[in-house]
């Protein structure tokens, strides 16, 4: 095992609000080796984007960050404090969800790619422009010379996201963070963009953090998957291990049930997860998912399960993981009682049961 | 090409509408005859013709009867014709570059306007330059560190300058810089460029400060809005410096409101700044305009309306073009 490129340990991010500090990220740790990729999965509000922004030093000034973030052994917060000029944008970059808004509408595509090269790599205007053209070609944009002179609104969504990727790759980063890179795109375009990111990553030996709410996006793509909920890591495993089952954690299982699969019969109803992600103000006791979980026991209300290795390389933070005797018992007990210890009506899951059998 | 043609047609239509309105209003609300021939016009000529009263001899030692003077004036100025025909005749003259002569002193209106308009334009240019020089850097600074000390104090003082009446500010500046410290001349001097500039600094400042306050508030708000955009986050992720992001990414798309209000206020200032011209005794368009209206000086009022509305439209035309320079998404065809 080589030394990790990115090493995050016990990261906490909270935002100071009038109601008190909102804990967006609450003790997240992960390592990422050079050339490897990790998928961070969770609903909006689960803390995945905040984790990425913390790494990129993009959090607003009222965010409080604790814990350690290292890049190639160097402390990221130290780099931020020293206001190092050629780190972000060079060593690590990030692309965002919506290519419609992440490009400056009043600047030509060419300038927007070339400016990173001019600022960080000391290229002249014309050198930078030539390189920008080459980058456009690498991300599969036809007629790069013409595109360089166009404005973002003259391009389709898919092309724009390719431009965004070209910008991110301009200075040859070692880490690319992609925050929901395909969420705003058409389904047909999504696959092209994800394949492109995969190819570029392999070509360049780059590491990647792929953030998504859609387990289907990371399935079979990233080396590892980390499922986040309420600012915490719920489950973490190599992708192949995780997808051997539908996940050990009830949340992962529930997320899985929301994805349409190719082999499910048509007209099978997808199962929503009842409730919505919590906004965690102040200190919480117990598991953040308990309000929406059908495997919950009274223990879940009072004690936060810690992240334990359930099987080789497969970590899960749950008192009653799916498929274990505890899990089966808890679910049966809740089913018989009609509601969970957290007061959730089990009828909410009825659609779930139907889809479950339909899928089998 | 079609765009230019459309705009020119629009311009002509607006000028015709404005001058026709002014022409009609002046004809019905004032008495052109009275302004041409003075007290001669007060004689009831219909009664004279009917033989009910006698047309006494003219004033000023002539033995021409009042009604004859009136009749001559009516002939000369075509006042017997219906209004649309008189308007049409006026337009015909304007097209040939003839705006008529002032009733007051028989000077050609073009000469009067040619004398006054440059002074007002000069004042306007100086005021707008001051206003932008104050507002733009202040807004950038304030938006960059929003809700900090500089932003808050600038916002409060901008309120002050917006709510302070023009004449009060003008009088205060006049008292301080002319009366007390005697830095600037008390009379309007127009011998060369520098004396003109010296005479225009204070009135320019009087106009500029409230304008700058308005510009500051508009630009600050727009900058803060733009700073929330995703592309700014993206620019930060590219590792660009705050200064680079502010000047090369944020400023340009934030100029819309500023440009709009700039166009309107510039157009307004071409029509003169009456109060300020009065305080600083500048023989500009504003004072001329008011005097002309009070005296019912028909040709002069119409001439000024023509010039001012043309200037207004021309400036808005430039502003519209500027929109598409700021933002390539703004199509010129719309």
Q: How far apart are CA A32 and CA A224, in angstroms?
A: 9
pLDDT at res. A357: 43
Across the interface, do A58 and B235 touch by the CB < 8 Å criterion? no
Decide which of B35 and A231 is more confident: A231
Question: Which residues in chain B are contacts of A151 at CB distance < 8 A?
Answer: 328-329
User: For residue A46, what is the DSSP state?
Assistant: S
Single out the residue of A191, A192, A231, A237 nearest to residue A214, CA to CA.
Answer: A191
Question: Treating both helix axes as pointing N-terminal to C-terminal, what angle do B298-326 and B285-294 enclose, rounded to 10 degrees?
Answer: 140
Across the interface, do B237 and A107 touch by the CB < 8 Å criterion? no
Chain centre distance of CA B273: 7
Provide the β-strand partners of residue B233: none
What number of helices (H) and strands (E) belong to chain A? 13, 12
**CA distances, B218 to each of B104, B135, B155 (Å):** 44, 10, 11
Q: How far apart are CA B25 and CA B30, in angstroms?
A: 8
Structure-token match 């993009």, residue found:
A58
Strand A314-316: give its sheet, edge to edge: A92-95, A175-179, A207-212, A37-41, A224-229, A232-238, A314-316, A308-311
Q: How far apart are CA A168 and CA A183, in angstroms?
A: 18
Across the interface, do A153 and B328 touch by the CB < 8 Å criterion? yes
Q: How far apart are CA A323 and CA A329, in angstroms?
A: 10
The residue of chain B with its CA nearest to that of A61 is B145
| Residues of chain A below pLDDT 70 | 1, 262, 264-269, 282, 350-360
Cross-chain CB nearest to A96 (options B233, B240, B248): B233
Across the interface, do B236 and A98 touch by the CB < 8 Å criterion? no
Single out the residue of A112, A97, A106 nearest to residue A163, CA to CA.
Answer: A112
For residue A228, report the phi and psi dihedrals to the nearest 5 degrees: -110, 145
Letter string b/e over residues A50-77, b meaning 16 or more CB atoms within 10 A of that residue's CB: bbbbbbbbbbeeebebebebbbeeeebe
Q: A151 touching B, CB under 8 A?
A: yes
Tell me the pTM: 0.84
Question: Which residues in chain A are contacts of B231 at CB distance < 8 A?
Answer: 101-105
CB A89 within 8 A of CB A176: no
Mean pLDDT, chain B, integer: 86
Q: Could you give the residue ranges of the DSSP H alpha helices within chain B?
A: 2-29, 32-37, 45-49, 66-76, 83-95, 109-144, 149-163, 166-173, 193-227, 230-237, 242-245, 256-270, 274-279, 285-294, 298-326
pLDDT at res. A354: 46
Across the interface, do A101 and B244 touch by the CB < 8 Å criterion? no
Q: A354 touching B, CB under 8 A?
A: no
Q: How far apart are CA B270 and CA B250, in angstroms?
A: 31
| Total residues belonging to chain B | 334
For chain B, percent of residues with pLDDT exceeding 90: 34
CA geometry: angle A324, A234, A296, nearest 5 deg: 50
Across the interface, do B230 and A101 touch by the CB < 8 Å criterion? yes
Question: Treating both helix axes as pointing N-terminal to C-terminal, what angle do A157-169 and A109-121 enclose, rounded to 10 degrees?
Answer: 10
Strand A20-32: give its sheet, edge to edge: A20-32, A6-17, A63-71, A74-75
CATH 1.10.3720.10 fits B110-326, yes or no: yes
Question: Which residues in chain B are contacts of A115 at CB distance < 8 A?
Answer: 238, 240, 244, 248
Question: Which residues in chain B are contacts of A58 at CB distance < 8 A?
Answer: 233, 236-237
Single out the residue of A30, A25, A59 nearest to residue A229, CA to CA.
Answer: A25
Q: How far apart are CA B334 and CA B320, in angstroms?
A: 10
| Total residues belonging to chain A | 360
Single out the residue of A82, A49, A89 nearest to residue A228, CA to CA.
Answer: A49
Condensed to tens digits (0 to 9), the pLDDT of residues B37-75 reads 776 666 677 777 776 766 665 555 555 667 777 777 777
Q: Where are the domains of chain B?
A: 2-78, 110-326
User: For residue B183, what is the DSSP state?
Assistant: -
> ipTM of this model?
0.86
pLDDT at res. A234: 94
CB A48 within 8 A of CB A255: no
Condensed to tens digits (0 to 9), the pLDDT of residues A107-163 reads 999 999 999 999 999 999 999 999 999 999 999 999 999 999 999 999 999 999 999
pLDDT at res. A57: 93
């Amino acid at each position: 095992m080589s030394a990790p490129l990115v090493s995050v340990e016990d990261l906490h991010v909270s935002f100071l609000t009038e109601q008190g500090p909102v804990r967006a990220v609450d003790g997240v740790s992960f390592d990422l080796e050079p050339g490897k990729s990790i998928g961070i999965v969770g609903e909006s509000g689960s803390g995945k984007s905040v984790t990425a922004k913390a790494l990129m030093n993009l959090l607003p000034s009222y965010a409080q960050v604790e814990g350690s973030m290292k890049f190639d052994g160097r402390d990221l917060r130290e780099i931020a404090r020293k206001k190092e000029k050629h780190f972000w944008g060079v060593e690590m970059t990030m692309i965002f969800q919506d290519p419609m808004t992440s490009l400056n509408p009043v600047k030509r595509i060419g300038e927007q790619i070339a400016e990173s090269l001019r600022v960080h790599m000391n290229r002249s205007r014309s050198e930078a422009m030539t390189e920008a053209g080459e980058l456009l070609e690498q991300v599969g944009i036809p007629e790069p010379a013409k595109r360089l002179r166009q404005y973002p609104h003259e391009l389709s969504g898919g092309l724009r996201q390719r431009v965004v990727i070209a910008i991110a790759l301009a200075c040859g980063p070692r880490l690319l963070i992609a925050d929901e890179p395909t969420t705003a795109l058409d389904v047909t375009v999504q696959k092209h963009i994800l394949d492109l990111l995969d190819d570029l990553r392999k070509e360049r030996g780059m590491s990647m953090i792929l953030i998504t709410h859609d387990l289907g996006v990371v399935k079979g793509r990233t080396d590892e998957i980390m499922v986040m909920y309420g600012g915490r890591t719920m489950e973490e495993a190599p992708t192949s291990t995780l997808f051997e089952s539908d996940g050990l954690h009830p949340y992962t299982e529930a997320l899985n049930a929301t994805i349409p699969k190719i082999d499910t019969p048509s007209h099978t109803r997808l199962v929503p997860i009842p409730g919505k992600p919590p906004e965690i103000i102040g200190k919480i006791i117990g598991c953040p998912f308990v309000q929406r979980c059908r495997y919950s026991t009274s223990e879940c209300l009072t004690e936060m399960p810690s992240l334990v290795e359930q099987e080789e390389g497969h970590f899960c933070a749950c008192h009653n993981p799916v498929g274990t005797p505890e899990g089966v018992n808890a679910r049966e007990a809740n089913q018989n009682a009609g509601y969970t210890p957290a007061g959730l009506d089990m009828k909410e899951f009825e659609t779930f049961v139907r889809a479950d059998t339909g899928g089998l | 090409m079609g765009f230019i043609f459309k705009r020119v047609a629009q311009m002509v239509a607006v000028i015709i509408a404005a001058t026709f309105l002014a022409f009609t209003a002046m004809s019905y609300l004032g008495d052109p005859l009275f302004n041409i021939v003075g007290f001669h016009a007060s004689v009831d000529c219909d009664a004279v013709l009917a033989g009910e009263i006698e047309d006494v001899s003219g004033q000023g030692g002539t033995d021409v009867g009042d009604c004859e003077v009136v009749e001559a004036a009516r002939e000369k100025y075509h006042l017997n014709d219906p209004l649309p025909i008189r308007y049409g005749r006026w337009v015909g003259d304007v097209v040939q570059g003839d705006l008529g002569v002032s009733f007051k002193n028989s000077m050609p209106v073009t000469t009067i306007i040619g004398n006054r308009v440059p002074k007002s334009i000069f004042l306007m240019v100086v005021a707008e330059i001051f206003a932008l020089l104050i507002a733009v850097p202040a807004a950038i600074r304030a938006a960059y560190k929003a809700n900090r000390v500089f932003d808050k104090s600038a916002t409060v003082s901008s309120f002050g300058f917006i709510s302070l009446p023009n004449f009060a500010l003008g009088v205060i500046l006049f008292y301080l810089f002319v009366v007390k410290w005697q830095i600037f001349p008390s009379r309007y001097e127009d011998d060369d460029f520098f004396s003109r500039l010296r005479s225009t600094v204070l009135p320019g400042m009087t106009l500029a400060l409230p304008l700058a306050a308005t510009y500051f508030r508009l630009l600050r708000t727009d900058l803060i809005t733009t700073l929330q955009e995703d592309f700014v986050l993206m620019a930060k992720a590219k590792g660009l410096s705050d200064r680079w992001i502010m000047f090369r990414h944020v400023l340009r798309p934030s100029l819309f409101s500023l440009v709009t209000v700039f166009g309107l206020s510039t157009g307004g200032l071409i029509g003169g700044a009456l109060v300020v011209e009065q305080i600083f005794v500048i023989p500009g368009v504003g004072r001329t305009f008011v005097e002309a209206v009070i005296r019912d000086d028909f040709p002069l009022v119409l001439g000024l309306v023509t010039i001012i509305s043309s200037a207004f439209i021309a400036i808005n035309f430039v502003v519209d073009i500027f929109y598409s320079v700021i933002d390539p998404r703004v199509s010129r065809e719309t």
